[in-house]
A and B are shown apart, each in its own frame.
Chain A
Amino acid sequence: MQLMDSSHSNPMSLCSQADSQRTLYPYVTGTSVIGVKYKDGILMAADMGGSYGSTLRYKSVERMKPIGKHSLLGASGEISDFQEILHYLDELILYDNMWDDGNSLGPKEVHSYLTRVMYNRRNKFNPLWNSLVLGGVKNGQKYLGTVSMIGVHFEDNHVATGFGNHLARPILRDEWHEDLSFEDGVKLLEKCMRVLLYRDRSAVNKLQIAKITEEGVTISQPYSLKTFWGFSAFQNPTVGAEGSW
């Protein structure tokens, strides 16, 4: 595999071998997504930030989208790759609907399809630079799974991507339980998102919570979490180190 700079320098070159390209690094990225199963279905939370490196550049990026009738997809990582995935899924759902035969792709099928796509791209050294959370309900069965950019995939009662793995999942392991009510689920997610807001530098204080049940998908309006900075240690921070700032 050769590293490529500009691929369009000589399209009419006599030697027909095209230099292979590979994804090197992401440009505009979203941070953690968290998902939990609750009594009626799945709850998912993600903030609306699109970072450009260390700049918090875009602050109204919707990182969770409904897929078909039964699924909800949340993504972290490269936003343009997420948009590409939405395009693939759009086509997938379209063909599914065109059968018009009463069958429809459920969350398990969509999750499996995404796994195949992600893994295939990884094998070509050109991954879609995303970590995905796929949740849904079909025929009363709740489903929550995740796929990484290298195709690692699994299902669980609660999943998270990126920093959420380190900061949110320990909280979920302690406090998640079967049959959470909607209110408790939201409270739990907010608790995790608050920790991420304090500790993840790519987090922005504007988030959405999405829920999917047998009835369908609802994505909340964006809102902010209350934070507290009034710790005594933050008063006179330079006491004990005069001259520092």
Chain B
Amino acid sequence: MFRNQYDTDVTTWSPAGRLFQVEYAMEAVKQGSAAIGLRSKTHVVLACVNKANSELSSHQKKIFKVDDHIGVAIAGLTADGRVLSRYMRSECINYSFTYESPLPVGRLVVQLADKAQVCTQRSWKRPYGVGLLVAGLDESGAHLYYNCPSGNYFEYQAFAIGSRSQAAKTYLERRFGTFQNSSREDLIKDALFAIRETLQGEKLKSSICTVTVLGVGEPFHILDQETVQGLINAFEMAGEEAPAADQGAAGEEGAAGEVVAAAEEGAAPEEGAATEEGAAPMDI
């Protein structure tokens, strides 16, 4: 894990063609608390885990509204994240002022990526130690992007970053096929399930997570704690296990969902994916 000789400077290559400082910056992202994002054709949901340092302190803000049609969730050095959010807000508002139109997300993301790249090619700078999940809406629909400290950016249907994000990613990988046509409510529910996966046994409460929604006709906003707790209670009372088909009104998942659920229930016990209700599939 420690590659000392070539890692002092971001402008020093290793013989294997790597920039260790950039890779270390990406480690910082992996150490931050989890943030996840998922999108349908018309909506994007961002959610994150908010862990306070101690009982005495408040938790750090990890999701920022950038404009009515763009929001961002961060993982890693929150100070860097705050600075980049401020840059994004500035870009959006300047564009809106000049063109009386919202800045297309795709362009903001490229600008952000180019900004990050600069820090990988100046000896007097360091890379930003934060990964950003950018949720946005433009003429071509809903988008979710991930911006890396390396200056790369990718578009995703769903993604998770930060610590224990692999558990969430696994959940999202199983389910992402349904997201494109998901309803707003199902998307939020999937986000909460994904967040629960990262908690590894801890109880999911609205006080330790933040959920935000953005959609067609719905500006980016944070769901208040009551609403979130209500949603959590609803699916926990129904005893729903994350991968199972939603019994409620989820008509669009229909047969496909049930087939997937059946297959998953077979697989779940073997995976031993650490969820608090690991035993539940057997009951159903």
Binding site for B on A (CB under 8 A): 99, 101-103, 105-106, 108-109, 111-113, 116, 139
Contact = CB atoms under 8 A, between A and B. Distances in A.
Nearest to A110: B99
B69 to A, nearest CB: 13
Given A102-B140, A103-B139, A113 B98 contact: yes
B101 A112 contact: yes
B91 to A, nearest CB: 14
A108 B139 contact: no
A150 to B, nearest CB: 18
A109 B101 contact: yes
Given A103-B139, A139-B139, A109 B100 contact: yes
A103 B99 CA distance: 13
A99 B104 CA distance: 11
Contact of A116 (B98, B101, B110): B98
Interface in B214-266: none
B7 interface: no
Contact of A108 (B101, B104, B106, B107): B101
A109 B110 CA distance: 20
Given A101-B106, A139-B139, 11 more contacts: A99-B106, A99-B107, A99-B110, A102-B140, A103-B104, A108-B99, A109-B99, A112-B99, A113-B98, A116-B97, A116-B98
B106 A103 contact: yes
| Closest A-B pairs by Cβ, 10 of them | A112-B100, A109-B99, A103-B104, A109-B101, A112-B99, A101-B106, A116-B98, A113-B98, A99-B107, A113-B99
B59 to A, nearest CB: 36
Interface residues of B, number: 12
Contacts of A109: 99-101
Contacts of A102: 106, 140
Q: Interface centre among B98, B99, B100, B106, by most A CB within 10 Å?
A: B99
A157 to B, nearest CB: 19
Contacts of A113: 98-99
Nearest to A109: B99
B80 interface: no
Contact of B100 (A101, A103, A108): A108
Interface string B91-117: 000000111110010110010000000
B9 interface: no
A103 B97 CA distance: 18
Contact of B138 (A103, A106, A139): A103
Nearest to A102: B140
A139 B106 CA distance: 19
A85 to B, nearest CB: 15
Contact of A112 (B98, B104, B138, B140): B98
A103 B107 contact: yes
A205 to B, nearest CB: 38
Contacts of A99: 106-107, 110
A102 B107 CA distance: 10
A105 B106 contact: no
Contacts of B101: 106, 108-109, 112
A103 B140 CA distance: 8
A139 B139 CA distance: 10
A102 to B, nearest CB: 6
B111 to A, nearest CB: 10
Nearest to A96: B107
Nearest to B103: A103
A111 B98 CA distance: 9
A125 B140 CA distance: 41
A111 B139 CA distance: 19
A76 to B, nearest CB: 23
Nearest to B99: A109
A116 B97 CA distance: 9
A100 to B, nearest CB: 10
Contacts of B138: 103
A168 to B, nearest CB: 27
Contacts of A112: 98-101
A101 B99 contact: no
B182 to A, nearest CB: 24
Contacts of A116: 97-98
A108 B102 CA distance: 11
Contacts of A103: 104, 106-107, 138-140
A101 B107 contact: yes
Given A112-B98, A112-B99, A113-B99, A101 B104 contact: yes
